[in-house]
Chains A and B, each alone.
Chain A
Amino acid sequence: MSIRKKITSKPWLPMLIWIIGIILVWEIAATIVSVTKRTPENVLPHLYQIFGQIFSTKAVSSGKTATMLVLDSASKTLFRAAIGFITGTVLGFVLALIMKISKLAEKTIFPYLMLIQMVPILGMAPIILSITGDINTSRIVIAAILTFYPVATNTLAGFNAVEREKYDLMYSYAASKYTIYKKVLIPYSIPYFFTGLKISAPMAITASILVDTLQGDGGLGSMLSQSLKHAMSIYVFWLIVFFSAFIGIFSSYFMGFLEKAVLPHKRKTKIKRKDDAV
Protein backbone atom coordinates (compact mmCIF):
# COMPACT_ATOMS: atom_id res chain seq x y z
CA MET A 1 0.00 0.00 0.00
CA SER A 2 2.65 2.48 1.06
CA ILE A 3 4.80 1.63 -1.94
CA ARG A 4 1.94 2.32 -4.28
CA LYS A 5 1.31 5.62 -2.56
CA LYS A 6 4.97 6.50 -2.88
CA ILE A 7 4.90 5.84 -6.60
CA THR A 8 1.66 7.68 -7.26
CA SER A 9 2.85 10.71 -5.32
CA LYS A 10 5.97 11.03 -7.46
CA PRO A 11 5.81 14.27 -9.43
CA TRP A 12 7.06 12.68 -12.63
CA LEU A 13 4.34 10.08 -12.77
CA PRO A 14 1.65 12.23 -14.49
CA MET A 15 4.25 13.34 -17.01
CA LEU A 16 5.17 9.75 -17.73
CA ILE A 17 1.54 8.71 -18.18
CA TRP A 18 0.96 11.68 -20.48
CA ILE A 19 3.92 10.78 -22.65
CA ILE A 20 2.84 7.14 -22.80
CA GLY A 21 -0.66 8.32 -23.72
CA ILE A 22 0.63 10.48 -26.56
CA ILE A 23 2.80 7.64 -27.84
CA LEU A 24 -0.27 5.40 -27.75
CA VAL A 25 -2.42 7.84 -29.70
CA TRP A 26 0.38 8.37 -32.23
CA GLU A 27 0.91 4.65 -32.72
CA ILE A 28 -2.80 3.91 -33.10
CA ALA A 29 -3.07 6.65 -35.71
CA ALA A 30 0.09 5.46 -37.43
CA THR A 31 -1.27 1.93 -37.57
CA ILE A 32 -4.47 3.16 -39.18
CA VAL A 33 -2.50 5.28 -41.63
CA SER A 34 -0.13 2.45 -42.50
CA VAL A 35 -3.10 0.34 -43.57
CA THR A 36 -5.06 3.00 -45.44
CA LYS A 37 -2.34 5.03 -47.18
CA ARG A 38 0.01 4.05 -49.95
CA THR A 39 2.89 6.14 -48.60
CA PRO A 40 2.27 6.14 -44.83
CA GLU A 41 5.72 7.48 -44.03
CA ASN A 42 4.75 10.81 -45.56
CA VAL A 43 1.60 11.14 -43.48
CA LEU A 44 2.38 9.58 -40.11
CA PRO A 45 5.19 7.04 -39.70
CA HIS A 46 5.60 4.83 -36.68
CA LEU A 47 7.74 6.27 -33.94
CA TYR A 48 10.14 3.33 -34.05
CA GLN A 49 10.69 4.01 -37.74
CA ILE A 50 11.62 7.61 -37.01
CA PHE A 51 13.89 6.84 -34.11
CA GLY A 52 15.35 3.88 -35.96
CA GLN A 53 16.73 6.40 -38.42
CA ILE A 54 18.92 7.87 -35.69
CA PHE A 55 20.94 4.67 -35.64
CA SER A 56 20.75 3.96 -39.35
CA THR A 57 24.12 3.93 -41.07
CA LYS A 58 22.71 4.43 -44.57
CA ALA A 59 23.95 7.58 -46.26
CA VAL A 60 21.05 9.81 -47.26
CA SER A 61 22.95 12.75 -48.71
CA SER A 62 26.57 13.26 -49.78
CA GLY A 63 27.82 10.40 -47.65
CA LYS A 64 26.14 11.53 -44.45
CA THR A 65 23.70 9.47 -42.42
CA ALA A 66 20.42 11.01 -41.35
CA THR A 67 21.71 11.74 -37.85
CA MET A 68 24.91 13.33 -39.10
CA LEU A 69 22.93 15.42 -41.55
CA VAL A 70 20.52 16.67 -38.88
CA LEU A 71 23.28 17.45 -36.38
CA ASP A 72 25.37 19.11 -39.04
CA SER A 73 22.60 21.42 -40.17
CA ALA A 74 21.47 21.93 -36.58
CA SER A 75 24.87 23.35 -35.69
CA LYS A 76 24.51 25.99 -38.41
CA THR A 77 20.96 26.85 -37.44
CA LEU A 78 21.63 26.96 -33.72
CA PHE A 79 24.68 29.12 -34.21
CA ARG A 80 22.61 31.67 -36.13
CA ALA A 81 19.79 31.32 -33.62
CA ALA A 82 22.18 32.00 -30.75
CA ILE A 83 23.61 35.15 -32.34
CA GLY A 84 20.14 36.34 -33.33
CA PHE A 85 18.88 35.63 -29.83
CA ILE A 86 21.71 37.52 -28.14
CA THR A 87 21.29 40.48 -30.51
CA GLY A 88 17.53 40.42 -29.99
CA THR A 89 17.93 40.23 -26.23
CA VAL A 90 20.31 43.17 -26.06
CA LEU A 91 18.06 45.13 -28.41
CA GLY A 92 14.98 44.29 -26.35
CA PHE A 93 16.63 45.24 -23.08
CA VAL A 94 17.99 48.53 -24.44
CA LEU A 95 14.60 49.40 -25.91
CA ALA A 96 12.91 48.68 -22.58
CA LEU A 97 15.46 50.89 -20.85
CA ILE A 98 14.89 53.73 -23.32
CA MET A 99 11.15 53.43 -22.92
CA LYS A 100 11.49 53.54 -19.14
CA ILE A 101 13.78 56.57 -19.16
CA SER A 102 11.60 58.58 -21.48
CA LYS A 103 7.82 58.45 -21.35
CA LEU A 104 7.84 60.24 -24.67
CA ALA A 105 9.84 57.43 -26.27
CA GLU A 106 7.57 54.81 -24.76
CA LYS A 107 4.46 56.40 -26.18
CA THR A 108 6.05 56.82 -29.59
CA ILE A 109 7.84 53.50 -29.92
CA PHE A 110 5.59 51.01 -28.17
CA PRO A 111 2.79 50.84 -30.77
CA TYR A 112 5.41 50.32 -33.46
CA LEU A 113 6.98 47.41 -31.58
CA MET A 114 3.54 45.86 -31.76
CA LEU A 115 3.36 46.70 -35.44
CA ILE A 116 6.67 45.03 -36.25
CA GLN A 117 5.16 41.78 -34.95
CA MET A 118 2.45 42.05 -37.59
CA VAL A 119 4.78 42.54 -40.55
CA PRO A 120 5.29 39.33 -42.50
CA ILE A 121 9.01 39.53 -42.03
CA LEU A 122 9.83 36.82 -44.53
CA GLY A 123 8.35 39.04 -47.22
CA MET A 124 10.78 41.73 -46.20
CA ALA A 125 13.77 39.42 -46.51
CA PRO A 126 14.88 40.85 -49.89
CA ILE A 127 14.94 44.35 -48.46
CA ILE A 128 16.96 43.24 -45.47
CA LEU A 129 19.27 41.35 -47.82
CA SER A 130 19.80 44.41 -49.97
CA ILE A 131 20.63 46.44 -46.85
CA THR A 132 23.01 43.93 -45.26
CA GLY A 133 24.33 42.52 -48.55
CA ASP A 134 24.96 39.13 -46.96
CA ILE A 135 22.52 36.28 -46.57
CA ASN A 136 23.73 35.08 -43.18
CA THR A 137 23.68 38.56 -41.68
CA SER A 138 20.13 38.97 -42.98
CA ARG A 139 19.14 35.69 -41.38
CA ILE A 140 20.54 36.80 -38.03
CA VAL A 141 18.88 40.22 -38.32
CA ILE A 142 15.49 38.63 -39.04
CA ALA A 143 15.88 36.15 -36.18
CA ALA A 144 16.73 39.07 -33.89
CA ILE A 145 13.69 41.07 -35.04
CA LEU A 146 11.43 38.10 -34.43
CA THR A 147 12.73 37.59 -30.89
CA PHE A 148 13.28 40.96 -29.27
CA TYR A 149 9.63 41.73 -28.53
CA PRO A 150 9.02 39.41 -25.54
CA VAL A 151 12.24 40.62 -23.92
CA ALA A 152 11.35 44.28 -24.44
CA THR A 153 7.78 44.03 -23.13
CA ASN A 154 8.59 41.81 -20.19
CA THR A 155 11.54 43.90 -19.07
CA LEU A 156 9.46 47.06 -19.36
CA ALA A 157 6.77 45.39 -17.26
CA GLY A 158 9.50 44.63 -14.73
CA PHE A 159 10.59 48.29 -14.62
CA ASN A 160 7.02 49.42 -14.20
CA ALA A 161 6.36 46.91 -11.42
CA VAL A 162 8.78 48.68 -9.04
CA GLU A 163 6.73 50.01 -6.13
CA ARG A 164 6.43 53.67 -5.22
CA GLU A 165 8.06 53.08 -1.81
CA LYS A 166 11.29 51.91 -3.39
CA TYR A 167 11.57 55.17 -5.32
CA ASP A 168 10.76 57.14 -2.21
CA LEU A 169 13.47 55.34 -0.31
CA MET A 170 16.02 56.09 -3.03
CA TYR A 171 14.88 59.72 -3.19
CA SER A 172 15.36 59.98 0.57
CA TYR A 173 18.96 58.86 0.04
CA ALA A 174 19.21 61.61 -2.62
CA ALA A 175 20.31 58.91 -5.04
CA SER A 176 21.11 59.91 -8.58
CA LYS A 177 19.05 58.62 -11.46
CA TYR A 178 21.91 56.36 -12.48
CA THR A 179 22.06 54.82 -8.99
CA ILE A 180 18.33 54.25 -8.98
CA TYR A 181 18.59 52.32 -12.22
CA LYS A 182 21.62 50.40 -11.09
CA LYS A 183 20.46 49.52 -7.59
CA VAL A 184 16.72 49.22 -7.94
CA LEU A 185 15.24 49.15 -11.40
CA ILE A 186 17.57 46.78 -13.20
CA PRO A 187 17.89 44.20 -10.40
CA TYR A 188 14.14 44.31 -9.91
CA SER A 189 13.42 43.72 -13.56
CA ILE A 190 15.75 40.73 -13.93
CA PRO A 191 13.12 38.05 -13.14
CA TYR A 192 10.80 39.67 -15.69
CA PHE A 193 13.69 39.82 -18.13
CA PHE A 194 14.14 36.09 -17.72
CA THR A 195 10.43 35.50 -18.29
CA GLY A 196 10.96 37.26 -21.61
CA LEU A 197 14.00 35.13 -22.34
CA LYS A 198 12.08 31.94 -21.64
CA ILE A 199 9.52 32.95 -24.25
CA SER A 200 11.97 34.26 -26.82
CA ALA A 201 14.54 31.44 -26.72
CA PRO A 202 12.29 28.88 -28.46
CA MET A 203 11.09 31.67 -30.73
CA ALA A 204 14.67 32.36 -31.79
CA ILE A 205 15.05 28.73 -32.79
CA THR A 206 11.81 28.51 -34.78
CA ALA A 207 12.62 31.87 -36.37
CA SER A 208 16.07 30.64 -37.30
CA ILE A 209 14.58 27.52 -38.90
CA LEU A 210 12.18 29.74 -40.82
CA VAL A 211 14.93 32.00 -42.20
CA ASP A 212 17.03 28.98 -43.18
CA THR A 213 14.62 28.57 -46.07
CA LEU A 214 15.76 31.86 -47.61
CA GLN A 215 18.52 29.97 -49.35
CA GLY A 216 19.29 26.30 -49.82
CA ASP A 217 22.75 26.27 -48.27
CA GLY A 218 22.27 24.15 -45.20
CA GLY A 219 20.59 24.55 -41.86
CA LEU A 220 17.61 22.71 -40.39
CA GLY A 221 15.08 24.76 -42.35
CA SER A 222 16.57 24.02 -45.75
CA MET A 223 17.07 20.35 -44.89
CA LEU A 224 13.45 20.26 -43.77
CA SER A 225 12.21 21.59 -47.08
CA GLN A 226 14.65 19.45 -49.06
CA SER A 227 13.55 16.22 -47.42
CA LEU A 228 9.93 17.29 -47.96
CA LYS A 229 10.68 17.39 -51.67
CA HIS A 230 11.33 13.68 -51.36
CA ALA A 231 14.73 13.95 -52.90
CA MET A 232 16.15 12.21 -49.86
CA SER A 233 14.69 10.14 -47.07
CA ILE A 234 11.46 11.61 -45.69
CA TYR A 235 12.54 10.47 -42.22
CA VAL A 236 14.99 13.34 -42.16
CA PHE A 237 11.91 15.55 -42.09
CA TRP A 238 10.42 13.75 -39.11
CA LEU A 239 13.73 13.68 -37.30
CA ILE A 240 14.02 17.44 -37.72
CA VAL A 241 10.45 18.01 -36.47
CA PHE A 242 11.23 16.09 -33.28
CA PHE A 243 14.67 17.57 -32.93
CA SER A 244 13.46 21.16 -33.28
CA ALA A 245 10.66 20.63 -30.77
CA PHE A 246 13.12 19.11 -28.33
CA ILE A 247 15.66 21.92 -28.75
CA GLY A 248 12.91 24.53 -28.35
CA ILE A 249 11.77 23.08 -25.04
CA PHE A 250 15.33 22.57 -23.90
CA SER A 251 16.22 26.19 -24.65
CA SER A 252 13.35 27.40 -22.50
CA TYR A 253 14.44 25.19 -19.61
CA PHE A 254 18.01 26.28 -20.11
CA MET A 255 16.92 29.88 -19.58
CA GLY A 256 15.19 28.77 -16.38
CA PHE A 257 18.42 27.14 -15.30
CA LEU A 258 20.38 30.31 -16.09
CA GLU A 259 17.89 32.33 -14.10
CA LYS A 260 18.44 30.16 -11.07
CA ALA A 261 22.19 30.45 -11.48
CA VAL A 262 22.01 34.23 -11.77
CA LEU A 263 19.36 34.78 -9.14
CA PRO A 264 20.00 32.39 -6.26
CA HIS A 265 17.79 34.41 -3.93
CA LYS A 266 14.79 33.69 -6.10
CA ARG A 267 15.45 30.02 -5.70
CA LYS A 268 15.46 30.46 -1.94
CA THR A 269 12.19 32.34 -1.85
CA LYS A 270 10.64 29.67 -3.99
CA ILE A 271 11.74 26.97 -1.59
CA LYS A 272 10.52 29.04 1.30
CA ARG A 273 7.15 29.49 -0.34
CA LYS A 274 6.91 25.77 -0.82
CA ASP A 275 7.63 25.20 2.88
CA ASP A 276 4.93 27.68 3.78
CA ALA A 277 2.48 25.80 1.69
CA VAL A 278 3.32 22.57 3.45
Chain B
Amino acid sequence: MSRKLKRKKSLWYRIHQNEKVQSAETVLLPLLFGFLFMIMWQTQKLHTLLHTDTFTLPLPSRILTIIADNSDKIMLNVNATVIVTLAGLVAGSLIGYGIAVLAALFPKWGSCGLKIIAAFNAIPIVALAPVMTNWTKDVSNHADIRSMVAKIMVVTIVCIANMSINAYRGLTELKPFSEDLMCSYAASKRVTLIKLRLPNSVPYIFTALKVAVPSSVISALVSEYFAEYIVGVGRQIRENIVLAQYSSAWAYIVVACLIGIIMYAVLMIAQSFMLKKRA
Protein backbone atom coordinates (compact mmCIF):
# COMPACT_ATOMS: atom_id res chain seq x y z
CA MET B 1 0.00 0.00 0.00
CA SER B 2 2.71 2.41 1.00
CA ARG B 3 4.56 1.65 -2.23
CA LYS B 4 1.59 2.69 -4.26
CA LEU B 5 1.21 5.97 -2.39
CA LYS B 6 4.83 6.87 -2.87
CA ARG B 7 4.72 6.49 -6.61
CA LYS B 8 3.46 9.50 -8.44
CA LYS B 9 0.74 8.46 -10.78
CA SER B 10 1.62 9.79 -14.16
CA LEU B 11 -0.98 10.41 -16.81
CA TRP B 12 0.40 7.54 -18.84
CA TYR B 13 0.02 5.21 -15.87
CA ARG B 14 -3.55 6.29 -15.25
CA ILE B 15 -4.50 5.81 -18.87
CA HIS B 16 -2.92 2.42 -18.69
CA GLN B 17 -4.99 1.43 -15.69
CA ASN B 18 -8.24 2.41 -17.35
CA GLU B 19 -10.25 -0.72 -18.06
CA LYS B 20 -11.56 0.48 -21.40
CA VAL B 21 -8.10 1.40 -22.61
CA GLN B 22 -6.84 -2.02 -21.59
CA SER B 23 -9.51 -3.89 -23.48
CA ALA B 24 -8.91 -1.66 -26.48
CA GLU B 25 -5.22 -2.52 -26.27
CA THR B 26 -5.94 -6.27 -26.43
CA VAL B 27 -7.59 -5.69 -29.78
CA LEU B 28 -5.48 -2.89 -31.19
CA LEU B 29 -1.99 -4.19 -30.45
CA PRO B 30 -2.32 -7.46 -32.37
CA LEU B 31 -4.05 -5.62 -35.18
CA LEU B 32 -1.21 -3.10 -35.36
CA PHE B 33 1.31 -5.91 -35.37
CA GLY B 34 -0.57 -7.70 -38.10
CA PHE B 35 -0.81 -4.52 -40.13
CA LEU B 36 2.94 -3.92 -39.87
CA PHE B 37 3.56 -7.53 -40.82
CA MET B 38 1.37 -7.20 -43.90
CA ILE B 39 3.17 -4.02 -44.97
CA MET B 40 6.52 -5.76 -44.62
CA TRP B 41 5.16 -8.65 -46.65
CA GLN B 42 3.73 -6.50 -49.42
CA THR B 43 6.87 -4.33 -49.66
CA GLN B 44 9.04 -7.48 -49.76
CA LYS B 45 10.96 -6.57 -46.59
CA LEU B 46 9.82 -9.93 -45.24
CA HIS B 47 11.33 -11.68 -48.23
CA THR B 48 14.74 -10.18 -47.59
CA LEU B 49 14.46 -11.14 -43.95
CA LEU B 50 13.63 -14.78 -44.74
CA HIS B 51 15.93 -15.02 -47.78
CA THR B 52 13.08 -16.08 -50.01
CA ASP B 53 11.47 -14.80 -53.19
CA THR B 54 8.02 -13.70 -54.31
CA PHE B 55 7.60 -17.02 -56.09
CA THR B 56 7.73 -19.16 -52.93
CA LEU B 57 6.06 -16.49 -50.81
CA PRO B 58 3.70 -14.56 -53.11
CA LEU B 59 2.61 -11.04 -52.26
CA PRO B 60 -0.68 -10.58 -50.37
CA SER B 61 -2.13 -8.63 -53.29
CA ARG B 62 -1.56 -11.57 -55.63
CA ILE B 63 -3.08 -14.02 -53.16
CA LEU B 64 -6.16 -11.85 -52.72
CA THR B 65 -6.56 -11.56 -56.49
CA ILE B 66 -6.59 -15.34 -56.82
CA ILE B 67 -9.12 -15.69 -54.01
CA ALA B 68 -11.34 -13.10 -55.71
CA ASP B 69 -10.96 -14.74 -59.14
CA ASN B 70 -11.91 -18.22 -57.92
CA SER B 71 -14.47 -17.39 -55.25
CA ASP B 72 -17.00 -19.94 -56.53
CA LYS B 73 -14.57 -22.84 -56.57
CA ILE B 74 -13.14 -21.82 -53.21
CA MET B 75 -16.58 -21.64 -51.61
CA LEU B 76 -17.32 -25.16 -52.82
CA ASN B 77 -14.17 -26.46 -51.15
CA VAL B 78 -14.73 -24.37 -48.02
CA ASN B 79 -18.22 -25.82 -47.68
CA ALA B 80 -16.91 -29.36 -47.79
CA THR B 81 -14.20 -28.64 -45.23
CA VAL B 82 -16.47 -26.72 -42.87
CA ILE B 83 -19.12 -29.45 -42.90
CA VAL B 84 -16.51 -32.07 -42.04
CA THR B 85 -14.93 -29.93 -39.32
CA LEU B 86 -18.19 -28.97 -37.65
CA ALA B 87 -19.77 -32.40 -37.86
CA GLY B 88 -16.63 -34.02 -36.47
CA LEU B 89 -16.28 -31.40 -33.77
CA VAL B 90 -19.88 -31.74 -32.62
CA ALA B 91 -19.91 -35.53 -32.78
CA GLY B 92 -16.53 -35.85 -31.10
CA SER B 93 -17.39 -33.38 -28.34
CA LEU B 94 -20.76 -34.99 -27.61
CA ILE B 95 -19.31 -38.49 -27.51
CA GLY B 96 -16.36 -37.26 -25.47
CA TYR B 97 -18.65 -35.56 -22.98
CA GLY B 98 -20.84 -38.64 -22.76
CA ILE B 99 -17.80 -40.74 -21.99
CA ALA B 100 -16.72 -38.25 -19.34
CA VAL B 101 -20.14 -38.41 -17.64
CA LEU B 102 -20.02 -42.20 -17.63
CA ALA B 103 -16.49 -42.08 -16.28
CA ALA B 104 -17.54 -39.66 -13.53
CA LEU B 105 -20.41 -41.94 -12.53
CA PHE B 106 -18.16 -45.00 -12.38
CA PRO B 107 -14.79 -43.50 -11.44
CA LYS B 108 -13.00 -46.77 -10.76
CA TRP B 109 -13.50 -48.02 -14.30
CA GLY B 110 -13.82 -44.63 -15.90
CA SER B 111 -10.44 -43.14 -15.09
CA CYS B 112 -8.75 -46.17 -16.62
CA GLY B 113 -10.93 -45.97 -19.69
CA LEU B 114 -9.94 -42.34 -20.13
CA LYS B 115 -6.28 -43.28 -20.09
CA ILE B 116 -6.94 -45.67 -22.93
CA ILE B 117 -8.87 -43.05 -24.86
CA ALA B 118 -5.95 -40.67 -24.37
CA ALA B 119 -3.83 -43.29 -26.09
CA PHE B 120 -5.81 -42.72 -29.29
CA ASN B 121 -4.37 -39.21 -29.35
CA ALA B 122 -0.95 -40.72 -29.84
CA ILE B 123 -1.93 -42.28 -33.18
CA PRO B 124 -0.86 -39.91 -35.96
CA ILE B 125 -3.59 -38.62 -38.28
CA VAL B 126 -1.59 -39.78 -41.30
CA ALA B 127 -2.16 -43.33 -40.07
CA LEU B 128 -5.75 -42.80 -38.95
CA ALA B 129 -7.05 -41.24 -42.16
CA PRO B 130 -6.27 -44.11 -44.57
CA VAL B 131 -7.62 -46.65 -42.07
CA MET B 132 -10.88 -44.72 -41.84
CA THR B 133 -11.13 -44.57 -45.62
CA ASN B 134 -10.80 -48.35 -45.69
CA TRP B 135 -13.33 -48.89 -42.92
CA THR B 136 -16.02 -46.78 -44.53
CA LYS B 137 -15.99 -48.52 -47.90
CA ASP B 138 -19.35 -50.18 -47.22
CA VAL B 139 -21.11 -47.06 -45.93
CA SER B 140 -22.43 -45.89 -49.27
CA ASN B 141 -22.14 -46.47 -52.98
CA HIS B 142 -21.52 -42.79 -53.51
CA ALA B 143 -17.88 -41.87 -53.10
CA ASP B 144 -18.68 -38.33 -51.95
CA ILE B 145 -20.80 -39.58 -49.06
CA ARG B 146 -18.46 -42.29 -47.84
CA SER B 147 -15.47 -39.97 -48.11
CA MET B 148 -17.26 -37.43 -45.98
CA VAL B 149 -18.10 -40.06 -43.38
CA ALA B 150 -14.46 -41.15 -43.27
CA LYS B 151 -13.25 -37.57 -42.83
CA ILE B 152 -15.82 -36.85 -40.13
CA MET B 153 -14.74 -39.99 -38.27
CA VAL B 154 -11.13 -38.84 -38.24
CA VAL B 155 -12.08 -35.44 -36.82
CA THR B 156 -14.42 -37.10 -34.31
CA ILE B 157 -11.69 -39.35 -32.95
CA VAL B 158 -9.32 -36.42 -32.62
CA CYS B 159 -11.94 -34.48 -30.63
CA ILE B 160 -13.16 -37.29 -28.36
CA ALA B 161 -10.02 -37.73 -26.27
CA ASN B 162 -9.53 -34.04 -25.71
CA MET B 163 -13.12 -33.40 -24.66
CA SER B 164 -13.50 -36.46 -22.44
CA ILE B 165 -10.34 -35.74 -20.46
CA ASN B 166 -11.17 -32.09 -19.90
CA ALA B 167 -14.83 -32.70 -19.16
CA TYR B 168 -13.91 -35.46 -16.72
CA ARG B 169 -11.80 -32.98 -14.79
CA GLY B 170 -14.70 -30.55 -14.80
CA LEU B 171 -17.07 -33.21 -13.54
CA THR B 172 -14.82 -34.45 -10.76
CA GLU B 173 -12.68 -31.51 -9.60
CA LEU B 174 -15.44 -29.91 -7.58
CA LYS B 175 -15.19 -27.07 -5.12
CA PRO B 176 -14.15 -28.36 -1.71
CA PHE B 177 -17.06 -29.50 0.44
CA SER B 178 -19.62 -29.01 -2.31
CA GLU B 179 -19.80 -32.76 -2.71
CA ASP B 180 -20.10 -33.16 1.07
CA LEU B 181 -22.89 -30.64 1.00
CA MET B 182 -24.75 -32.65 -1.62
CA CYS B 183 -24.17 -35.71 0.56
CA SER B 184 -25.65 -33.97 3.56
CA TYR B 185 -28.73 -33.19 1.49
CA ALA B 186 -28.91 -36.91 0.84
CA ALA B 187 -28.93 -36.03 -2.84
CA SER B 188 -28.96 -38.95 -5.23
CA LYS B 189 -26.17 -39.55 -7.72
CA ARG B 190 -28.40 -38.24 -10.46
CA VAL B 191 -29.19 -34.99 -8.63
CA THR B 192 -25.53 -34.45 -7.81
CA LEU B 193 -24.72 -34.91 -11.46
CA ILE B 194 -27.31 -32.46 -12.74
CA LYS B 195 -27.09 -29.81 -10.03
CA LEU B 196 -23.40 -29.89 -9.23
CA ARG B 197 -21.22 -31.73 -11.70
CA LEU B 198 -22.69 -30.61 -15.02
CA PRO B 199 -22.63 -26.86 -14.23
CA ASN B 200 -19.14 -27.21 -12.79
CA SER B 201 -17.88 -28.69 -16.05
CA VAL B 202 -18.97 -25.84 -18.34
CA PRO B 203 -15.71 -23.83 -18.18
CA TYR B 204 -13.79 -27.03 -18.81
CA ILE B 205 -15.86 -27.67 -21.92
CA PHE B 206 -14.64 -24.38 -23.29
CA THR B 207 -11.06 -25.21 -22.39
CA ALA B 208 -11.45 -28.41 -24.38
CA LEU B 209 -13.08 -26.64 -27.32
CA LYS B 210 -10.30 -24.06 -27.49
CA VAL B 211 -7.89 -26.90 -28.21
CA ALA B 212 -10.38 -28.87 -30.28
CA VAL B 213 -11.28 -26.14 -32.77
CA PRO B 214 -7.79 -25.65 -34.27
CA SER B 215 -6.98 -29.36 -34.12
CA SER B 216 -10.27 -30.31 -35.79
CA VAL B 217 -9.61 -27.88 -38.65
CA ILE B 218 -6.11 -29.26 -39.14
CA SER B 219 -7.23 -32.89 -38.98
CA ALA B 220 -10.02 -32.18 -41.46
CA LEU B 221 -7.42 -30.74 -43.85
CA VAL B 222 -5.09 -33.71 -43.47
CA SER B 223 -7.88 -36.28 -43.79
CA GLU B 224 -8.82 -34.71 -47.12
CA TYR B 225 -5.44 -35.80 -48.47
CA PHE B 226 -6.49 -39.42 -48.16
CA ALA B 227 -10.18 -39.18 -49.00
CA GLU B 228 -11.52 -40.79 -52.15
CA TYR B 229 -13.65 -37.92 -53.29
CA ILE B 230 -11.58 -34.93 -54.39
CA VAL B 231 -12.84 -31.87 -52.59
CA GLY B 232 -11.79 -29.63 -49.72
CA VAL B 233 -9.38 -26.87 -48.86
CA GLY B 234 -6.69 -29.28 -47.62
CA ARG B 235 -6.75 -31.27 -50.82
CA GLN B 236 -6.47 -28.08 -52.88
CA ILE B 237 -3.47 -26.93 -50.85
CA ARG B 238 -1.74 -30.22 -51.51
CA GLU B 239 -2.60 -30.36 -55.22
CA ASN B 240 -1.28 -26.87 -55.76
CA ILE B 241 1.88 -27.44 -53.73
CA VAL B 242 2.69 -30.63 -55.61
CA LEU B 243 2.03 -28.89 -58.93
CA ALA B 244 4.26 -26.00 -57.81
CA GLN B 245 1.38 -23.48 -57.99
CA TYR B 246 2.43 -21.61 -54.87
CA SER B 247 0.22 -18.57 -55.36
CA SER B 248 -2.89 -20.73 -55.56
CA ALA B 249 -1.70 -22.87 -52.68
CA TRP B 250 -1.26 -19.74 -50.60
CA ALA B 251 -4.76 -18.62 -51.46
CA TYR B 252 -6.09 -21.85 -49.97
CA ILE B 253 -3.74 -21.63 -46.97
CA VAL B 254 -5.17 -18.17 -46.23
CA VAL B 255 -8.70 -19.53 -46.60
CA ALA B 256 -7.89 -22.42 -44.23
CA CYS B 257 -6.57 -19.96 -41.64
CA LEU B 258 -9.72 -17.88 -41.99
CA ILE B 259 -11.91 -20.92 -41.33
CA GLY B 260 -9.97 -21.59 -38.13
CA ILE B 261 -10.03 -17.97 -37.01
CA ILE B 262 -13.75 -17.52 -37.62
CA MET B 263 -14.61 -20.72 -35.78
CA TYR B 264 -12.38 -19.70 -32.89
CA ALA B 265 -13.94 -16.23 -32.75
CA VAL B 266 -17.42 -17.74 -32.65
CA LEU B 267 -16.27 -19.96 -29.80
CA MET B 268 -14.86 -17.02 -27.82
CA ILE B 269 -18.10 -15.07 -28.25
CA ALA B 270 -20.11 -18.09 -27.14
CA GLN B 271 -17.84 -18.51 -24.16
CA SER B 272 -18.11 -14.93 -22.94
CA PHE B 273 -21.87 -15.12 -23.39
CA MET B 274 -22.25 -18.40 -21.50
CA LEU B 275 -19.89 -17.59 -18.67
CA LYS B 276 -21.23 -14.07 -18.21
CA LYS B 277 -24.72 -15.43 -17.85
CA ARG B 278 -23.55 -17.75 -15.13
CA ALA B 279 -21.75 -15.01 -13.28
Contacts and interface: CB of A to CB of B under 8 A. Distances in A.
A262 to B, nearest CB: 23
Interface residues of A, number: 51
A221 B260 CA distance: 26
A179 interface: no
A247 B124 CA distance: 11
A264 interface: no
Nearest to B234: A120
Query: Which of A22, A111, A171 counts the most chain B CB atoms within 10 A?
Result: A111
B222 A122 contact: yes
Contacts of B123: 206, 241, 244-245, 248
B126 A127 contact: no
A248 B116 CA distance: 12
A131 B122 contact: no
Contacts, number: 133
Given A120-B218, A213-B126, A108 B33 contact: yes
B124 A206 contact: yes
B98 interface: no
A240 B124 CA distance: 10
Interface string B156-177: 0000000000000000000000
B109 A130 contact: no
Contacts of B208: none
Contacts of A225: 126
Interface of A: 14-15, 17-19, 22, 42-44, 104, 107-112, 114-115, 117-120, 122-127, 130-131, 171, 202, 205-206, 209-210, 213, 221, 224-225, 228, 237, 240-241, 244-249, 252
Interface of B: 3, 25-26, 29-30, 32-34, 50-53, 56-57, 108-109, 111-113, 115-116, 118-127, 130-131, 134-135, 137, 214-215, 217-218, 221-222, 234, 237-238, 241, 246, 249, 252-253, 256-257, 260-261, 264
Top 9 nearest A-B pairs by Cβ distance?
Answer: A248-B122, A118-B260, A14-B112, A206-B124, A123-B237, A117-B214, A111-B30, A209-B124, A107-B29
